[in-house]
Chain A
Amino acid sequence: MSHENERLVIIRHAPYSSNALREGLDVALVAAAFGQTVSLLFLGQGVLALLKEQKTGAPGQKATLPTIDMLEMYDIDQLLVPQSALDALHLQVDQLVEGATVVADEGLPELLHRHSHVMNF
């Protein structure tokens, strides 16, 4: 399968730790709104963005989970998580939102290679 002109956005920041997650998701949403095919790869602390049991943050902090839940409406249905990222945080896939897909670590080089555009947030 050719993934030319398909975009991979890598998320490496947890919710509430900074604005990086929100602004990374914004890039994915804008790309999707422009008609590009977008996949999201969650690495390291970024996996925490996919936890389905998230409460809102400290007073005044806007939650990012509604944005995650909205991705499907933008046809972003590839929410990829490497098994090692789950293991590192002692998480199970059933703790993540529906739609999260666990991928084997061995597949990551090929995943990055086949996307013509990759961005890291």
Chain B
Amino acid sequence: MEYGLLVMGAPYASAAPHSAFRFAKALIDTGHRVAGIFFYQEGVHNASQLMTPPQDELNMRDAWIALHHEHGVALEVCIAAALRRGIMSETEAKRHGQTHFNLQAPFELTGLGQLLALQQRCDRVITFA
């Protein structure tokens, strides 16, 4: 089956990202496809490039990026939720007169319409909050 995941918890604050990541791995290991992960609400913090946990802890952002590179999983971040919480791409930073940015490809800022499209495209969308 084709799955989409909706992640609404921040790393190191909520178990949601870890659970979602392990679920994605389990899906792939059992022959399912993960079309995309949509990060919404506090989940947008998963995309922060400045996330720097101690070396003996999993770097959640790097884990998502590896999932993207190894299995072609799209990493979509709600733009409105991200900007509200200080997560922005270089383009958005310029547009809003900010000096810095902290989101880079393969994470992508996108609209809520993409979440609806993901749900329509996939057999299942599972929420982790």
Q: Are B80 and A26 neighbours in the complex by a CB distance under 8 Å?
A: yes
Separation of A23 and B120 alpha carbons in the complex (Å): 20
A19-B41, A23-B81 known; A119 vs B119 contact (CB < 8 Å): yes
A interface, size bucket: 10 to 19
Of all chain A residues, which has the CB nearest B119?
Answer: A117
A-contact bits for B42-75, CB 8 A (1 contact / 0 none): 0000000000000000000000000000000000
Interface residues of A in 36-78 (CB under 8 A from B): 36
Main secondary structure of the interface of A (DSSP, over half): mixed
Q: Are B116 and A34 neighbours in the complex by a CB distance under 8 Å?
A: yes
A20 in the interface (beta carbon within 8 A): yes
Most chain A CB within 10 A, of B41, B115, B129, is at B41
Q: Contacts of B129 on A, CB cut-off 8 Å?
A: 120
A-contact bits for B95-116, CB 8 A (1 contact / 0 none): 0000000000000000111011
Q: Are B41 and A27 neighbours in the complex by a CB distance under 8 Å?
A: no
Smallest beta-carbon distance A33→chain B, Å: 9
B6, B84, B116, B127: the one within 8 Å of A30 (CB): B116
Separation of A118 and B84 alpha carbons in the complex (Å): 25
A103 in the interface (beta carbon within 8 A): no
Separation of A27 and B114 alpha carbons in the complex (Å): 11
Separation of A31 and B84 alpha carbons in the complex (Å): 21
Smallest beta-carbon distance B78→chain A, Å: 8
B40 in the interface (beta carbon within 8 A): yes
Most chain B CB within 10 A, of A23, A31, A121, is at A23
Of all chain A residues, which has the CB nearest B81?
Answer: A23
A20, A30, A119: the one within 8 Å of B113 (CB): A30
Q: Which residues of B contact A (CB under 8 A)?
A: 6, 8, 40-41, 80-81, 84, 111-113, 115-116, 119-120, 125, 127, 129
Name 7 A/B residue pairs within 8 A (Cβ), A-sorted: A19-B41, A26-B80, A30-B112, A34-B116, A119-B6, A120-B129, A121-B41
Smallest CB-CB A-B distances: 6 pairs: A30-B112, A117-B119, A23-B41, A120-B127, A31-B116, A27-B112
